[in-house]
Each structure stands twice: as C-alpha cells, then as structure tokens.
Amino acid sequence: MHEYSLAHALLEGLTEHLGQYPVQGRVKAVHIRKGELLILSEEALAEAWRILTDGTPVAGSELRIEKVPVRVRCPACGYEGPVRYVSEEGWHFVVPVLACPQCTGRAEVVEGRDLAIVGLSVDDAPLDRPSTEERNGSRRLLGEDRDLCG
Amino acid sequence: MHDIRLGTEDVIRRQIELASRNHKLFQDRNVRAFNVMGAIGSGKTLLILRLAERLKDKGLRVGAIAGDVAGDDDYQRFVAAGLVAANLNTGDDCHLDAHRVGHALESFPLGDVDVLFIENVGNLVCPADFPLGTEGELVVISVTEGDDMVRKHPKMFAQTDVLAVNKVDLASFVGVDPMVLVDDYRRLNPHGKVVLTDAKSGRGADDLLAVLGL
C-alpha cells in the first residue's frame, strides 16, 4: 500500500511541470508508464489519484496506465530483451524471472521499474474564453514538449 | 482534445538516485550495508543479532538500524546486544525508503561500524519497490507462516537474491516442509541463494554470513 505516496510524487512532478509549462484547457487524462516489477495496485493508484488531485488543476483527470514489461540485459552473453515468465496453475499470477532467457545467467533489469507521467490528454475547449491568439499559442506554452497530434 | 507527450521525472528513478547516494556514502565510509526485509515475526531481529555475534568474533564492528512503524523494541534489542544502533520509525509507512534512510544516516556514526544491517518494516510487499542503496538484500521468512509464503509474494522473491527460511526447527511441529518454500523460490529466482536457519540456536548463521559475503 504505497500507492498514495507514489501518486503524490507523480502529482508533485506534474504540478511542477504545469507551473513551468501551463496547458490551456482541462486535463482529461494523465498517461503514466508503470513497470511490471512494481508492486502497485492499479485500482488503488487510480483511487489515490482521484482523491489527491481534488482541488488541483488536474482534478477530475483520469489516470491511464500503460504497463511496461520487464526487459533485461545479460552481461554474460549480451542478450537484451524480454524475460521468461513463471506461470503456475493455482498461483493466479504471472511473474517475470530476472534471469537471461538465452543463457540463464544473472540479468540486469533495463526496464520494468518505471513509474512516470508520459503524457496528457487536454480538452481543447477553452476554460475562460481566451483569445484566438492565446489559443493558438497554447502549444507554444508547452515549452519543449512535443504535441502528438502534430 | 489533443495529447501532449511529456517527460516528468520518473518517481522510481528518483528513489534509485537517492539509494545511489546512500550507496556511495557506504562505499566512502567502507561500510558493508544490508537491507534485511521479511515477514512480520519471521525472526529478522534475532537473525541479525546472531550474525552480529559471529561478525564481532571476527573482529568486525556491527551496526543496525531498526525500521518499524512504531516503537523501539527492536532498537532496544540491538542496543542491549551492544550494537551501534538507531531507531527509525516510519509513522505510518509500510516500508523504509532511501530518503528516510538517508536522513537516518546523517546522524548515524558510520565511522564506528564495518557492517550495517538495516532492518526493514515487516512486510513482504512494499519494501521490494524501494531500494535503500545497500550492497545486499536479504529476505527472511519462517516456516511458521506456512509453506505458501513465497508463492503468495512472488515479486518480492523474484527480485531478492538471498532468502533465509527461519525457524526450521519448528517445521515438523507446524507441518511445513521447508523445501516447498525453497522450490517455489528457485522457480521464481534461479540465481537466488537459500539458507535454512534457526535463529534461536544460531543454526545456519555461518552459512548465511558466507552467502552474504561476510
């Protein structure tokens, strides 16, 4: 049960970012990457987000979670890629095995412990009837961020 | 509606960075530190005391940080045994993290110890997500918790490379075959090392030290 503290850390990072690069319009969804190795309940994370964002500029936003599968690098044979999984009948769980699937050597985790906000979905409808110029400039206000919609 | 891609700081990477600071501190001060995780009541504290006795016999100075939600029971046990000790209450958190440990280290006399055990909050879930910057990690379970303890917490065991199965002297009394725990662990973590221990008598403590490279 550390979903609240991690949701809080995510929100802090986002708040800081939006302070520097404000967006025009309501944030409808916040997209995050969540590594497969993290022991986090997605339901609890979404609930923590709902509660913690109340009263903030991203209140009412939906947390959309993209799972990041484990990738490893093997120092012994040079393999880099996905791992094999243990799936036992009755365990009701599929668990990544942190060993090289090629040579069985000890492998280093490259991906799978991530937890970061990677994007926002923003409603284009203006909040306070900003001028056309302001609306057109909204993307410029995003600073270095790239706009996926081109 | 439009989508914006952004790259705010990865909050786990932040934890890893804080852990790296602790790691560097341990290296700079020549302290070999170990994160002792495990189930509630599995015998983490007593096992640390048994390891400490043997390390003292080898002429090494041992320290311990007692991580608990509340109270100083484990801390008092460490102090009574003559360890350089600190108490670290988390308040409500179910795990230690690198940030909290970093602050504890600010006032800990690292110059007075060669080996430091950081006893995490009893929990087989959350501590796995929070590296502390130690050179090694150990997870302790005991047979009295049942033979399903490993498979019930697969991610913890898949990521922790040393397992102590404690209280093995009680196995027959509680009808648990320790090898069930060992077999489950090997499936989840083919490189993991397992030691059967009985902290009361000290059985297995020497093997555990060897596995930890001490």
Range of weakest confidence among A85-99, B11-25, B48-62, B91-105:
A85-99
For B192, nearest residue in chain A (alpha carbons): A106
Q: How confident is the model at residue A128 (pLDDT cuts 50, 70, 90)?
A: low
Considering all CA atoms of chain A, what is the largest pairwise distance in Å, rounded to the nearest integer?
62
H/E segment holding residue A54: none
- Which residue type sits at A73? R
**Of all residues in chain A, what percent carry a pLDDT higher than 70?**
82
**In the predicted structure, residue A147 carries a pLDDT above the cut 80:** no
**In the predicted structure, residue B8 carries a pLDDT above the cut 60:** yes
Confidence (pTM): 0.86
Domain spans of chain A?
A: 3-126
**In the predicted structure, residue B71 carries a pLDDT above the cut 80:** yes
The 3-state DSSP class for residue B167 equals coil
**In the predicted structure, residue A146 carries a pLDDT above the cut 70:** no
For B10, nearest residue in chain A (alpha carbons): A116
**In the predicted structure, residue B9 carries a pLDDT above the cut 90:** no
Confidence at residue B11, expressed as pLDDT on a 0 to 100 scale: 84
**Of all residues in chain B, what percent carry a pLDDT higher than 70?**
99
**In the predicted structure, residue B14 carries a pLDDT above the cut 50:** yes
Confidence at residue A32, expressed as pLDDT on a 0 to 100 scale: 95
Q: B2 and A122 in contact by Cβ < 8 A?
A: yes
Please name the residues in contact with B90: beta carbons below 8 A apart, sequence gap of 6 or more.
B67, B68, B69, B96, B100, B121
Q: Which residues in chain A have their CB less than 8 angstroms from residue B3's CB?
A: 31, 119-122, 147-149
CA distances from B206 to A89, B119, B213 (A): 36, 19, 11
ipTM: 0.81
Q: A86 and B188 in contact by Cβ < 8 A?
A: yes
Mean pLDDT of chain B: 95
Q: Which residues in chain B have their CB less than 8 angstroms from residue A119's CB?
A: 3-6
Q: What is the rounded distance in angstroms from the CA atom of residue A150 to the CA atom of residue B46?
A: 61
Closest to A25 (Cα-Cα) out of A98, A127, A106:
A127
Q: What is the rounded distance in angstroms from the CA atom of residue B168 to the CA atom of residue B197?
A: 6
* pLDDT tens, residue by residue, B96-133: 999 999 999 999 999 999 999 999 999 999 899 999 99
Confidence at residue B2, expressed as pLDDT on a 0 to 100 scale: 83
Which tokens sit at A31?
């997209």
Q: Which CATH number fits domain A3-126: 3.20.20.70, 1.10.10.10, 3.90.1150.10, 3.30.2320.80?
A: 3.30.2320.80
Which tokens sit at A123?
């409603």
Q: A121 and B158 in contact by Cβ < 8 A?
A: no
Q: Quick one: B8 exposed, middle or buried, by C-beta within 10 A (0-12, 13-18, 19+)?
A: buried
B10 and B95 in contact (C-beta within 8 Å)? no
Q: Within its chain, how far is the Cα of A129 from the centroid?
A: 31
Domains for chain B: give ranges and CATH numbers.
11-211 (3.40.50.300)
Q: A147 and B1 in contact by Cβ < 8 A?
A: no
Q: How confident is the model at residue A132 (pLDDT cuts 50, 70, 90)?
A: very low
Mutate one of A10, A86, A94 to test the B interface: name it (highest B CB count within 10 A): A86
Nearest beta carbon to residue B155 from set A23, A37, A88: A37
Please give the full DSSP string across B174-214, using - where no structure is assigned: HT--HHHHHHHHHHH-TT-EEEE-BTTTTBTHHHHHHHTT-
The 3-state DSSP class for residue B99 equals helix
| A and B: number of Cβ contacts within 8 A | 124
For A7, nearest residue in chain B (alpha carbons): B11
Please give the full DSSP string across A93-138, using - where no structure is assigned: -EEE--B-TTT--B-EEEES--EEEEEEEE--S-SS---HHHHHTT
A9 and A40 in contact (C-beta within 8 Å)? no
Mean pLDDT of chain A: 84
A119 and B3 in contact (C-beta within 8 Å)? yes
Q: Which residues in chain B have their CB less than 8 angstroms from residue A124's CB?
A: 1-2
B11-28 and B98-106 helices, crossing angle to 10°:
30
- B interface residues, A as partner, C-beta within 8 Å: 1-14, 16, 93-95, 125-126, 128-130, 151, 154-156, 158-159, 187-191
**In the predicted structure, residue A134 carries a pLDDT above the cut 50:** no
